[in-house]
Amino acid sequence: MTKDLVLLDADIDPRDAFNKLDGANRKLAPAVDADGRLVGILTRKAALRATLYTPATDAGGKLRIAAAVGINGDVAGKAKQLLDAGADVLVVDTAHGHQESMISAVKAVRALDPQVPIVAGNIVAAEGVRDLIEAGADIIKVGVGPGAMCTTRMMTGVGRPQFSAVLECAAEARKHGKHVWADGGVRHPRDVAMALAAGASNVMIGSWFAGTYESPGDLQQSADGRFYKE
């Protein structure tokens, strides 16, 4: 137990917090409000990270939220409810996104709000990129079949190797001043590097996080002692 307690103001700048902790040779310290009430714990590592990465929050300090509406049913109605609830980004997606239903859905969502960012997909060819951008999409999701749990290629015979798809789609998106996300196919760290090198602005990952405690599903143990999520 120490009598030389280090306290941090709840609204302290992360850089100042790091300097204070580092100067006191402390890994962490309590954060208190103006009345001296404990509101949390701030670590030296967290303070350092906060200076390197921009928090995914809006101007009001709220976490930025992206919500998916799909292409079936009342797409515009669902999108409006999500926007009214505070969604920052709308995602219009289906397994094979280069189809009339997808284009109509993107147009319907764009008609609601000319400013909200729209993510649309999934597609694997430049023609699909052009059509979805013309319909109103800002970001195109690329990937049909590469995901660990995806059965689209097996069930429909539609798909394409992910690197080739991202390379072609990213090149087309750049012509229009738009971006692509590489969705799926990440099994090794190299896959992330390859997707970014091919032109993706973002990489979506599922299987790496699926087995974590934070992900949905119940933790099960197989007969051979291996843990998995169900």
- State how far the alpha carbon of 195 is from the alpha carbons of 1, 52, 133, 162, 215, in Å: 50, 23, 21, 8, 24
HSE at residue 51, side-chain half, CA atoms within 13 A, is: 13
C-beta atoms surrounding 41 within 10 Å: 11
Structure tokens that stand for 71 in this block = 């292409």
Catalytic positions are: 150
Alpha-carbon gap, residue 69 to 55, rounded angstroms: 25
Alpha-carbon gap, residue 96 to 34, rounded angstroms: 54
Structure tokens that stand for 220 in this block = 């099960």
Contacts of 183 (CB under 8 A, 6+ apart): 121, 122, 141, 142, 143, 146, 147, 204
C-beta atoms surrounding 49 within 10 Å: 13
Alpha-carbon gap, residue 26 to 201, rounded angstroms: 37
